[in-house]
Amino acid sequence: MNSKVNGATPVLRVENLSHSFGEGQARVEALRGVSFEARAGEVTAIVGPSGCGKSTMLYLLGLLDQPDSGEIYLRGKPMTQADDSTRTALRNKSIGFVFQFHFLIKEFTARENVAMPLRKAGVLSDEALFQAEKFLKQLGLSDKAKRFANKLSGGEQQRVAIARALVNSPDLILADEPTGNLDAANSDRVFDVLLKFARDNGPAVILVTHNPELAKRCDRRLPMLDGKFVEE
Amino acid sequence: MARKRAMGMSLLGIIFGVAFFVVTQAQTSGFETFFIRTILGTNGAIRISDRFQDVDGTVTKVSDDGQARFVFHSREGARYVEGIEYPKELRKATADFPGVTGVSEILQGAGVLNTVSRSHSVRIHGIRTREHIAVSDLEEQVIRGSIKNFRDDRQAILVGNRIAERLRLEPGDRVILAGSHESLHLRVAGIFETGVSQIDKSRIYLDLSTARSFLRKPHGGSIFQVGIRHPEDAPAVAAQMQETFAHRVVSWQEREKVWLDVFKALRVSSAITVSTIILLSGLGMFNVFAIMVIEKTRDVAILRSMGFSPGDISRIFLWQGALVLVLGIVFGCLLAAIATYGISRIPLRIRGIFSTDNFVVNWDFSHYLWAISIAIVVVAVASWIPARRAARIEPAKIIRETL
Please, are residues B117 and B166 in contact by the beta-carbon 8 Å criterion?
no
Q: Does B306 touch chain A (CB under 8 A)?
A: yes
Residue numbers in B near A120 (CB within 8 A): 306-308, 312
Grade residue B69 by pLDDT with cuts at 50, 70 and 90: low
* Segment B280-334, tens digit of pLDDT: 888 888 888 888 888 888 888 889 888 899 999 999 889 988 998 999 999 999 9
- Which amino acid would we find at residue B343? I
CB nearest to B403's CB, from A64, A88, A100: A100
Give CA B96 to chain center in angstroms: 28
What CA–CA distance (Å, rounded) separates A132 from A123? 11
Q: Does A64 touch chain B (CB under 8 A)?
A: yes
Give CA A6 to chain center in angstroms: 20
Calculate how close chain A gets to B395, using CA atoms only, in Å. 6
DSSP H stretches of helix in B61-146? 87-95, 129-134, 138-141
Q: A-B interface: how many C-beta pairs under 8 angstroms?
A: 60
Residue numbers in B near A84 (CB within 8 A): 309-310
Comparing CA positions, the residue from B123, B104, B87 lying closest to residue B46 is B104
Local structure of B264: helix, strand or coil:
helix
Q: What is the DSSP letter of A11?
A: E
Give CA A118 to chain center in angstroms: 17
Q: Does A120 touch chain B (CB under 8 A)?
A: yes
* Segment B229-277, tens digit of pLDDT: 999 899 999 988 888 887 888 999 998 898 889 988 988 988 888 888 8
Burial class (CB in 10 A: 0-12, 13-18, 19+), B76: exposed
Comparing CA positions, the residue from A127, A101, A114, A212 lying closest to residue A160 is A114
* Segment B74-94, tens digit of pLDDT: 455 566 667 777 778 888 888
Q: Does B95 touch chain A (CB under 8 A)?
A: no
Please, are residues A219 and A2 in contact by the beta-carbon 8 Å criterion?
yes
Please, are residues B41 and B276 in contact by the beta-carbon 8 Å criterion?
no
Q: What is the DSSP letter of A183?
A: -
Domain positions in chain B are: 2-38+259-402, 44-251
What CA–CA distance (Å, rounded) separates B10 from B350? 37
Contact: B308, A88; criterion CB under 8 Å: yes
Residues 6+ apart with CB under 8 A from B160: B191, B192, B193, B194, B199, B200, B201, B202, B203, B204
Calculate how close chain B gets to A7, using CA atoms only, in Å. 30
Please, are residues B27 and B343 in contact by the beta-carbon 8 Å criterion?
yes
Contact: A92, B307; criterion CB under 8 Å: yes
Q: Does B299 touch chain A (CB under 8 A)?
A: yes
**pLDDT (tens place) for every residue of chain A, 232 residues total:** 334 444 456 889 999 999 998 766 678 888 999 999 998 888 999 998 888 888 889 889 999 888 999 999 998 889 888 888 899 999 998 999 888 777 888 889 999 999 999 999 999 999 999 999 998 988 888 898 999 988 988 888 888 998 899 898 899 999 988 887 777 777 887 788 888 888 888 889 999 988 888 888 888 999 999 889 888 7
What CA–CA distance (Å, rounded) separates A27 from B331? 56
Please, are residues B150 and B190 in contact by the beta-carbon 8 Å criterion?
yes
Local structure of A67: helix, strand or coil:
coil
Contact: B310, A92; criterion CB under 8 Å: no
Comparing CA positions, the residue from B44, B55, B131 lying closest to residue B87 is B131
Contact: A64, B399; criterion CB under 8 Å: yes
Q: Does B310 touch chain A (CB under 8 A)?
A: yes
Calculate how close chain B gets to A64, using CA atoms only, in Å. 5
CB nearest to A85's CB, from B298, B303, B309: B309
Please, are residues B348 and B357 in contact by the beta-carbon 8 Å criterion?
yes
Residue among B3, B302, B397 with most chain A CBs within 10 A, to mutate: B302
CB nearest to B305's CB, from A55, A89, A97: A97
Residue among B306, B314, B393 with most chain A CBs within 10 A, to mutate: B306
